[in-house]
Amino acid sequence: MFKKLDKLLERYDKLNQLVGDADVISRIDEWKAYTKELADISETVEKYSEYKKVLNEQSELKELLPTETDPELKELYETEIQACKEKIDVLTQELRILLIPKDPDDDKNVIMEIRGGAGGDEASLFAASLYKMYVKYAERNRWKTEEIDANETELGGIKEVIFSITGKSAYAKLKFESGVHRVQRVPETESQGRVHTSTVTVAVLPEATDVEVHIDEKDLRVDTLRSSGAGGQHVNKTESCIRLTHIPTGIVVLCQDERSQTKNREKAMKVLKTRLYEYYQSQADKEYSANRRSQVGTGDRSERIRTYNFPQGRVTDHRIGLTLHSIDNFMLGDIDEMVEALAIVDRENKLSVSDMDD
């Protein structure tokens, strides 16, 4: 660990020189990259400097202790040495956490996709409930949400909805929501009062930027279609729906939320770039699967991650074995306790892997 910290300290000094270099400043993109890297490692370097300062204080006190003859001063030195030891233990743990490689996507905005799975109308109704839950959670965090495309049912459910969430640390907080969400409840459409089990799939994707994903126009097929859905005055009257097909990967994106072809194309391109970013990342993850062994979940959309049991009023996350008996508040967007618990377990897993690597 300390070899890593010493190298980081060297890099910190080098970066300070680079960001103050007139030649580097003239190359604005390069300067910005160095400035960001400097900001990213500053907290760790400052913590390491504090650690070294306390360690030095402890060392000086240990040298003074054997030569001290005054009982009161000797006791004082022993107390201060113990205080230094406790502080060093705390700082060591904090440094271990700071050295965990940061997910480069954590600060990104999010594209979420929710789809009804097994269970017919009840699955679509629960998909709509989950959509509302995430929108309310976004509101609690003062994030902005924007619907990109939705396929609604006549009963008020949602077969599929794609929407964006824009805000600080949106992906960091929501990335563990990907997977299959199972619901157990008496459907509104069930007259006999029997509990049904249905599923909904959720995908949380970090929004890709133009720099990260470049799409060549020759690799793109664009089709214009008439919109379709459960309602809306413009439905089936104008060819405003846009379907984009990325020929090399076969990825298809459809957007019909806006009346304008131009706006639908812009939204569809945002989703396509995000899906391509996820596709290329997943290909890389397959090559370097060892890097993913520390994650709470695989992020696979086929993995059942959570059960919402309405008759018993509980929500259980199967990856970490946490059950919350507050399903009503949970469905109103009060999901912080679950989100934070998932983040803590993920951090602990990564710490264990880091210790093994050391």
**Tens digit of each residue's pLDDT (9 = 90 or more) over 51-85:** 999 999 999 999 888 887 888 888 999 999 999 99
DSSP state of 289: G
Which pLDDT score, from 0 to 100, does residue 101 have? 75
Q: Which of 204, 218, 207 is nearest to 272 (CA)?
A: 207
Q: Which residue has the higher pLDDT, 272 or 337?
A: 337
- Which domains are present in the chain? 2-98 (no CATH), 110-211+294-357 (3.30.70.1660), 217-286 (3.30.160.20)
How far apart, in whole angstroms, are the C-alpha atoms of residue 250 and residue 197? Answer: 33
**Residue linked to tokens 């391109």:** 269
CB 213 within 8 A of CB 335: no
pTM: 0.69
Which pLDDT score, from 0 to 100, does residue 265 have? 85
Which pLDDT score, from 0 to 100, does residue 178 have? 92
Residue 178 neighbours by CB under 8 Å, 6+ apart: 202, 203, 204, 297, 299, 300, 301, 305
Which pLDDT score, from 0 to 100, does residue 138 have? 97
Model pLDDT for residues 146-177, shown as the tens digit of each residue? 998 888 888 889 999 999 999 999 999 999 99
Q: Please say if the pLDDT value at position 36 is more than 60.
A: yes
